[in-house]
Chains A and B, each alone.
Chain A
Amino acid sequence: MSKKPELRGRAARLARLLPAAPSQAARTPFVLLVVLLLGGGLITLLLLNSSLNEGSFQLTKLKKETQELTDEEQALQKDVDKYAAPDALQRRARELGMVPGGDPAFLGPDGKVRGVPGAAPGTAVRPSAARPPAALPPASPAPSPTGTPAPPSASASASARQPATPSPQAPATGSPSAAGDPSAPASASAGGAPRPPAIAERPAPTTPGR
């Protein structure tokens, strides 16, 4: 390698296109740049990945939390529904000494009463009602737990206080346990789609009425 071989003609022209002696000075920063880019990329990727994974963990955690809160909400809603159910309201109202409103009566803006207001039906208490003193005046909110009957004058005072326009939410009648009462006798016809018996063959009745 002490002496360069002589190039001629075409080869010489081609040789001129090649860079002369490679530049020693430019190489180091380039290598550094490449290493930096590679390393940086790697680290970024790592960071990205770990943050994604972290997000995934957080997602799982939050999902679990949502689930727990949903469960709690549903459980609480169930409790609310239990209190808001009509027969529960009726039971509570009875416990507070309230009775069904009876005949509706309306108080107009001009002070005119429409309908016939009457005394609250104080004695109409079913055996299944929680407490007997249905005629307790509304003024005494807590009937005694022993069930002391109301004084005879109570119904009069109750009638005076009876609101002219009953609230639509106020339960009117009924026993708390009545809704699901299984004691009624089973009916003969099937529940699905009972086939009405043919009419023509039967003797026609002559004594129905009213």
Chain B
Amino acid sequence: MVSLGLTLVMLAFVVRLLQVQAVDADVYAAKAEKNRYSTHKLAAERGAITDRGGVELATSVDAYDITADPSLFTPKETKTGDAPEQAAALLAPIIDKDTDEVAEKLRTPKSRFTLLARRATPQVWKQIKDLRTALADKASTDPKAVNVLGGVFAVPTSKRVYPNAGLAAGILGWVNADGKGGGGIEQQLNKELAGKQGEVRYAQSGGRRVPTAGSTEKPAVPGSDVELTIDRDIQWAAQDAITEQVRKSHADRGYVLVQDTRTGEVLAMANAPGFDPNDLSQAQGTSLGNAAVQDAFEPGSTAKVMSMAAVLEENAATPGTRVTVPNRLHRGDRLFQDDIDHPTWYLTLNGVLAKSSNIGTILATGELGDTQEQVNKSLYSYLRKFGIGKETGLGFPGETSGILAPPDKWSTSQQFTIPFGQGVSINAMQAASVYSTIANGGVRIEPTLVRGTKGPDGRFTPAPAPKKTRVVSDRTARTVAGMLESVVDDEQGTGTKARIPGYRVAGKTGTANRVDPKTGRYHGYTSSFAGFAPADKPRVTVYCVIQNATKGSYFGGQICGPIYKKVMQFALKTLQVPPTGKAPARLPVTFSPGKPETPGRPADDR
């Protein structure tokens, strides 16, 4: 009997052993595995964005999401009816939230998770932690006290910070809630900036790593740092000046671009109004983005420089060519006029640009060909070469190419308005690039915004060299530069406000009829000023635009000229560009109709 009993018991053991060790082995092994090993994602640190001098414009810091488990705040758990209120009263001042709102969150029924504060600083979490520890100590000594903060936790995360707040915000963009770039460079170079997530898997016991048990770790690859061509100080000067003027003029918006004429690097690209990427909730939807490359507008008179360059390059005229400008000119289906009524002007080609005469420009570009069709074709080819209607090459998200219709689609009036910059749309970067091309001896260098990236290994990879194309000859470019000097230098010029004593400054004003984006009709003005300095040895191009100035003057020379001057002064100082000290070109602006034509110059019969 006994032996039979023993045998049965043994048999039971054997069967169970077999079951555990053989039949269900996998299940148990998996169960053990699950509890024993824990896997964690290792977040890759997002690369910083710096200016050309290495000053950080965007960087990532540690942060904590403050969370809570509402089920630990119930009366049953805490033995007190108002635990959420007590906790909220303690937490609200630390996380800078409304007490009632926090209490409401902590009262969420049937939930084990609520987010109290997103991306709080480590200092905030430390304060809460210290408070929680103090309460826990008190609770352990005094049986009546309860730790109302027992259910508050933190999830480590990282936060993108922009130390200079709104500075260059349009270029930088922002990072969305998932940690991905949502605009600007953050979006354009998200892949480089983000890096690669890592993973670690180790045996754990009570949350602590077991040192002897094996672990596998795939380290995270930090993102690359991106170095922009922007100079923080010039950017600030530009942004400050344009913000002030947009406010004063009650304008819709404004942009300022500063470009190095010799390398095509963009030194500043400022928008107003801007936004603070640290706090997008306060930003206006319309000021997000980078209007300097995302807005298309009709440039107006600043585009006359391309017509002039075309006329000179084709040897159709010289700066001294006489142009008799009547008060009205009938062309196509309309009657053109200049910005002011005037008696018949006797201007040189140089004077046409200096006084920004529309009629003069129409007459001058008429010399580009024998028929209007030839004129259109020739002008179009120059506009294209200057980069109009094409991508700027920045590759910026949301960039517009502007609108330039092919010459066979030009309407009757467009044929005569395009020479003075109406009926064609561009973005501000394209316009700045036109002036840089003239400044750079007629060679267009594609603008760049990124100098290069610095990988996690610390190695700097420069951005690919920008494309260079010759647009006009060096001689033409120099002549146009001399003519642009008259705009600023001559008493009759429209850009006298932009003078910088001691320097030879080239510039051109622009006051265009603006297309209201709401109605698609002309309403208000686009005021602008473009130019470079020093005129005889150019280093910097500055382009300023103010859209729809509604208070005070709306003339480009009056409101953008001073901004051009301020920004140019600052840029010349920052880049330490001394004046060349040479005498200005001082090309003649007018001629007396009685005197004979200077020999060797083609006569203008109008």
A residues sitting closer than 8 Å to B (CB atoms) are 49, 52-53, 55-56, 60, 67, 70-71, 74-75, 78, 81-82, 85-87, 90, 101-106, 108, 114-116, 118, 126, 165-175, 178-194, 196-210
Which residues of chain A are within 8 angstroms of B295 by Cβ–Cβ distance? Answer: 189, 194
**Contact between B62 and A188 (Cβ–Cβ < 8 Å)?**
no
Pick from A169, A186, A200: contact of B411, CB below 8 A: A200
The answer, yes or no, to whether B107 is at the interface (CB within 8 Å) is no
Known A-B contacts A75-B122, A85-B164, A202-B521; the reply to A209 vs B339 at CB < 8 A is yes
Nearest CB in chain A to that of B334: its residue: A206
Question: How far, in whole Å, are A79 and B573 apart by their CA atoms in the complex?
Answer: 28
Tell me the count of chain B residues lying within 8 A, CB to CB, of chain A.
Answer: 114
**Contact between A70 and B405 (Cβ–Cβ < 8 Å)?**
no
Pick from A104, A118, A174, A204: contact of B241, CB below 8 A: A174
Pick from A115, A199, A210: contact of B424, CB below 8 A: A199
Known A-B contacts A71-B123, A189-B286, A208-B512; the reply to A174 vs B237 at CB < 8 A is yes
Q: Shortest Cβ distance from A168 into chain B, in angstroms?
A: 4
Pick from A90, A178, A206: contact of B337, CB below 8 A: A206
Pick from A118, A165, A185, A199: contact of B250, CB below 8 A: A185
The answer, yes or no, to whether B244 is at the interface (CB within 8 Å) is yes
Interface flags, B422-437, vs A, CB<8A=1, else 0 = 1111000000000000
Known A-B contacts A118-B501, A190-B286; the reply to A210 vs B566 at CB < 8 A is no
Which residues of chain B are within 8 angstroms of A190 by Cβ–Cβ distance? Answer: 285-286
Question: How far, in whole Å, are A202 and B56 apart by their CA atoms in the complex?
Answer: 46
Pick from A165, A178, A188, A205: contact of B513, CB below 8 A: A205
Which residues of chain A are within 8 angstroms of B521 by Cβ–Cβ distance? Answer: 202
* With A187-B253, A199-B423 already in contact, 15 other A-B pairs whose C-beta atoms are closer than 8 Å: A67-B122, A81-B164, A85-B163, A104-B578, A168-B576, A171-B236, A174-B243, A184-B272, A186-B252, A186-B286, A187-B287, A194-B400, A198-B403, A209-B420, A210-B555
Q: Shortest Cβ distance from A101 into chain B, in angstroms?
A: 6
Interface flags, B268-298, vs A, CB<8A=1, else 0 = 0000111110000010111111010011111
Which residues of chain B are within 8 angstroms of A210 by Cβ–Cβ distance? Answer: 301, 339, 356, 494, 509-511, 555-557
**Contact between A114 and B579 (Cβ–Cβ < 8 Å)?**
yes
Which residues of chain A are within 8 angstroms of B252 by Cβ–Cβ distance? Answer: 185-188
**Contact between B555 and A204 (Cβ–Cβ < 8 Å)?**
no
Tell me the number of A-to-B contacts counted with CB atoms below 8 Å.
271
Pick from B421, B425, B572: contact of A199, CB below 8 A: B425
Which residues of chain A are within 8 angstroms of B398 by Cβ–Cβ distance? Answer: 192-193
Question: How far, in whole Å, are A181 and B273 apart by their CA atoms in the complex?
Answer: 7
Question: How far, in whole Å, are A39 and B443 apart by their CA atoms in the complex?
Answer: 86
Pick from A74, A86, A106, A180: contact of B578, CB below 8 A: A106
Question: How far, in whole Å, are A61 and B94 apart by their CA atoms in the complex?
Answer: 26
Which residues of chain A are within 8 angstroms of B241 by Cβ–Cβ distance? Answer: 173-174
Q: Which of B142-150, B205-213, B448-456 contacts A (4 or more CB under 8 A)?
A: B205-213
Which residues of chain A are within 8 angstroms of B440 by Cβ–Cβ distance? Answer: none
The answer, yes or no, to whether B547 is at the interface (CB within 8 Å) is yes
6 contacts between A and B (CB under 8 A): A168-B574, A174-B241, A184-B246, A189-B517, A207-B513, A210-B356
Which residues of chain B are within 8 angstroms of A103 by Cβ–Cβ distance? Answer: 500-503, 569
**Contact between A102 and B569 (Cβ–Cβ < 8 Å)?**
yes
Pick from B301, B515, B555, B557: contact of A202, CB below 8 A: B515
Known A-B contacts A188-B518, A202-B515, A202-B520; the reply to A208 vs B339 at CB < 8 A is yes
Name B278-330 residues within 8 Å CB distance of A.
Answer: 282, 284-289, 291, 294-298, 300-301
**Contact between B573 and A87 (Cβ–Cβ < 8 Å)?**
no
Specify which of B335, B413, B494 lies most central, judged by the most chain A CB atoms within 10 Å of its CB: B413
